[in-house]
C-alpha cells in the first residue's frame, strides 16, 4: 500500500497527472516595487488564485480522484472550518459524490456559507477538538465515507506538492523557496518537488512566532504540539502532522519565525503594490523576507502565496 | 498641428508604438463564478495591475514622451490629487524631467505620499478649483512647464486608447465593451480602438448615478457639467472634457447609470471571487452588468477595470 511508505517526488508527478485538468495553473507574479524595496528578486506563486482561493484544492482533488469506485459512492468526510473544508466540498461536487463537513457551530458565517455554497452536507458540533472527532467518527460509521485528513495524509501531501512543481516549471531559477507551514501539507509536498528538481534549492519554512511548533520540532528533532497558538495567520494554527514531520525533518533547510505585524505589512504590500488579496497565512512568505532583509538581499527567491480568503472589508 | 483635429485610431497606434516599452501589458482575466452568476461571458482587462495602479499611466507616458526637447527640460505640470498625478509623476521621473503637481492641501495623506514617492514637486493649494487653476497658472509662468490635462487632451486620449487596443488583441471576441466614464479620456480612447477594430462592437459607458453628467450630455446631445456629484467612485466625479464629448457623441452606443451599492457589490465579487483589489471607479463596469442582468445574459462582454488604488483595510 502507498500509505506504508513516505511519499516521494514520483507521487507528486502522479498527483499532477491526476489533477491537472481540474486545478488552475496559477500565475507566477512579481513586483518591481517589492524587489527594489527588499533588494531580492522575488517571484510569487499565486495560489490565492486557485479554485476555492487556496492551494488546498490540489490535495483535496487528488484525495477524491484517488478513491476507488466502492469508496466514491459513500463520499468523503473531514472536520475543518477552513480552506480544506471548502476544497474538499468542491472536489467532491466536481466528482459528483457527497461531502460531509463537521464544523464547530461557532464557525464564522462566511466559512459556513463558503462550504454550503459548494454543496457539502454540514454537520455542526460544539466547539472543541474532542467533539469534532467524536461527531466525525459517528458520521463515518453511519455513512461509510472516507475520512480525508487536511494534511497528515499521503495523497494530500502529494497533491499539495504540485504547486511547487508548477512553480519550478514556470519560474526563472531561484536560490531559495519559502513556504508557509501549519500542518505541513504544503511544506512537505513542496520539499519533495523542490529537492527533486534541484537539490541545491534551499527550502525555508515560514511560521508565525505565535504558533512556532514547527520551529520547536525542527530544531529539537522531536515533534512538539502547537500549544495555545496565537496569531493572525489562522491557517497556521495547527500542529505538524506526523507524516509531514518525518519529511520535514529529513529535507528542510530552515524555519523562520515571523511576527504578526510583519505579516500585516506583507499583506499591505500585496494590496498596494500588486493589487492582490492575500490572507495572513498566505502573506507569511513575503513577511519572512521583510523580517530578514540582510539574509535575502541579492537572492533569487520563490515565495508560495498559499491563499487569499480574507473577508471583504 | 495634431491638436486641431480629433484623434483617430491611427493616433492610438502611434501612441502604442511610443509607450509599449514602458507600460505593462496588463492581463485579461475571467472568473467562472462571475460568469455563472451573470450568465454572461465576461473578460476583464486589468488596468489595476498597470504601473501606478491605473490606466492613467498610459496617457501620461504618451504625453511626456511626445514633448519636444526644449519642452522636456522644463518639465510637466498638472493639478490633480488622483491617479493622473501619480501617473504623470512616474512618467516624468522615468524620462528624467521634473513634474509639478498642484494638489489641495486637504488631499488624503495616502495620495500625497503616492505622488511624493514618485519624486514629483508637490505644491499645495487651498481647496477649490479656482485656487488649483490659479496656482497652476502661476507655476507655469514661473517654470515654463507643459500643462498636461488629465483627460481633455489629444495625446492623453490616444494614450488611454492603448488599453482597449491591447484588450482586443489579447481577448477572444466580444460583443460589447464596457468602459467607465468620468472625464472621458479612457472612454474616448477606447471608442477609437474598438470601433476601428470591429465597428459592430457595441461600446457602453458606465457611470455612477450620483455623477451622471455623461448620461445627461450624451442623451441630450448637449454638454452638461458635473454638478454636485455624489458617489463612492471618486475617479468619476469630473465633467466630460470637450474633446472627449465630441468623440463620445459621435461614436458611443449607450450610457448606463449604476447605483453606488452595486459598485460595492462588484468590488466584493472581485475581492472574493478573483482575489484582486479594484477601486470603486474600476468596478463600475462589472456593476453595470450586475445592475442589468437581462441585458447582458448570453453576451460576450469585455470590461475594462480602470484602477485598483484602494486604501489598505
- What are the residue boundaries of the structural domains of chain B, listed by start? 2-54+153-305, 57-147
Q: Is A141 a catalytic residue?
A: no
pTM of the model: 0.94
pLDDT of the residue at B168: 97
Between the CA of residue B232 and those of A25, A27, A273, B209, what are the distances in Å?
Answer: 35, 31, 22, 11
DSSP string, B100-121: EEEEETTS-HHHHHHHHHTTPE
Q: Is the ipTM of this complex over 0.85?
A: yes
Separation of alpha carbons A100 and B59, rounded Å: 53
**Nearest CB to A271; choose among B267, B274, B312:** B312
Same CATH topology for A2-54+157-305 and A57-147?
yes
Examine the pLDDT at A2 and tell me if it is beyond 60.
no
Q: B57-147 in CATH: which number?
A: 3.40.50.1100
| pLDDT band at residue A109 using 50, 70 and 90 as cut-offs | confident
Question: What is chain B's pLDDT, residue by residue, as a tens digit (313 residues)?
Answer: 445 799 999 999 999 999 999 999 999 999 999 999 999 999 999 999 999 999 999 999 999 999 999 999 999 999 987 899 999 999 999 999 999 999 999 888 888 888 999 999 999 999 888 999 999 999 999 999 999 999 999 999 999 999 999 999 999 899 999 999 999 999 999 999 999 999 999 999 999 999 999 999 999 999 999 999 999 999 999 999 999 999 999 999 999 999 999 999 999 999 999 999 999 999 999 999 999 999 999 999 999 999 999 999 7
Length, in residues, of chain B: 313
pLDDT of the residue at A3: 54
Contact A277, B276 (CB under 8 A): yes
How far is the alpha carbon of A4 from chain B, nearest alpha carbon, in Å?
A: 39
Separation of alpha carbons A150 and A60, rounded Å: 8
Separation of alpha carbons B101 and B80, rounded Å: 7
Pick A104 or B1 by higher pLDDT: A104
Are A271 and B27 an interchain contact pair (Cβ–Cβ within 8 Å)?
no
φ/ψ of residue B128, rounded to 5 = 120, 135
**For residues A6-20, average pLDDT:** 98
* C-alpha cell, A291: 523580517
Are B277 and A267 an interchain contact pair (Cβ–Cβ within 8 Å)?
no
Task: Provide the pairing of β-strand A254-258 with B254-258.
Answer: unpaired
pLDDT of the residue at B1: 42
In chain B, residues 99-118 whose CB comes closer than 8 Å to chain A: none
- The class level of CATH for B2-54+153-305 reads alpha beta
pLDDT of the residue at A129: 83
Q: Is A56 a catalytic residue?
A: yes
Examine the pLDDT at A1 and tell me if it is beyond 60.
no
- Considering the domain A2-54+157-305, what is its CATH architecture? 3-Layer(aba) Sandwich (3.40)
Average per-residue pLDDT for chain A: 95
pLDDT of the residue at A128: 84
How far is the alpha carbon of A78 from chain B, nearest alpha carbon, in Å?
A: 24
Are B308 and A49 an interchain contact pair (Cβ–Cβ within 8 Å)?
no
Catalytic residue among A81, A190, A239, A281: A81
**Nearest CB to A53; choose among B275, B277, B310:** B275
Q: Which residues contact A17 (CB under 8 A, 6 or more apart)?
A: none
Q: Is B278 on the interface with A (CB under 8 A)?
A: yes
- A interface mutation test: which of B25, B46, B111, B275 has the most A CBs within 10 A? B275
Contact A261, A10 (CB under 8 A): no
Q: Is B274 on the interface with A (CB under 8 A)?
A: yes
pLDDT of the residue at B4: 76
Provide the 10 A C-beta neighbour count for residue A313. 8
Q: pLDDT per residue over A68-95, tens digit each?
A: 999 999 999 999 878 999 999 999 999 9
Catalytic residue among B61, B81, B190, B239: B81
Amino acid at each position: 500500500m502507498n500509505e506504508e511508505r513516505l511519499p516521494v517526488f514520483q507521487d507528486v508527478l502522479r498527483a499532477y497527472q491526476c489533477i491537472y485538468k481540474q486545478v488552475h495553473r496559477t500565475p507566477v507574479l512579481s513586483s518591481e516595487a517589492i524587489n527594489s524595496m527588499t533588494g531580492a528578486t522575488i517571484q510569487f506563486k499565486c495560489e490565492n488564485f486557485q479554485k476555492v482561493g487556496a492551494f488546498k484544492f490540489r490535495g483535496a482533488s487528488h484525495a477524491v480522484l484517488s478513491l476507488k469506485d466502492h469508496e466514491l459512492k459513500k463520499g468523503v468526510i473531514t472536520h475543518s472550518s477552513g480552506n480544506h473544508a471548502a476544497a474538499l466540498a468542491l472536489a467532491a461536487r466536481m466528482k459528483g459524490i457527497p461531502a460531509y463537513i463537521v464544523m464547530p457551530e461557532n464557525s464564522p458565517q462566511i466559512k459556513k456559507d463558503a462550504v454550503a455554497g459548494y454543496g457539502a452536507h454540514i454537520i455542526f458540533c460544539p466547539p472543541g477538538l474532542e467533539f469534532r472527532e467524536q461527531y466525525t467518527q459517528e458520521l463515518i460509521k453511519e455513512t461509510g465515507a472516507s475520512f480525508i485528513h487536511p494534511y497528515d495524509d499521503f495523497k494530500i501531501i502529494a497533491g499539495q506538492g504540485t504547486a511547487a512543481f508548477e512553480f519550478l516549471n514556470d519560474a526563472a531559477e531561484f536560490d531559495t523557496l519559502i513556504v508557509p507551514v501549519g500542518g505541513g501539507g504544503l511544506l512537505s509536498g513542496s520539499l519533495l518537488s523542490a529537492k527533486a528538481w534541484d537539490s541545491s534549492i534551499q527550502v525555508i519554512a515560514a511560521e508565525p512566532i505565535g504558533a512556532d511548533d514547527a520551529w520547536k520540532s525542527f530544531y529539537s528533532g522531536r515533534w512538539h504540539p502547537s500549544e495555545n497558538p496565537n496569531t493572525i495567520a489562522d491557517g497556521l494554527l495547527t500542529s505538524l502532522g506526523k507524516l509531514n514531520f518525518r519529511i520535514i525533518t529529513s529535507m528542510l533547510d530552515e524555519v523562520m519565525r515571523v511576527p504578526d505585524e510583519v505579516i500585516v505589512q506583507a499583506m499591505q504590500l500585496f494590496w498596494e503594490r500588486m493589487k492582490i488579496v492575500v490572507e495572513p497565512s498566505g502573506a507569511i512568505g513575503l513577511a519572512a523576507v521583510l523580517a530578514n532583509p540582510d539574509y535575502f538581499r541579492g537572492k533569487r527567491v520563490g515565495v508560495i502565496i498559499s491563499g487569499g480568503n480574507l473577508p471583504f472589508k
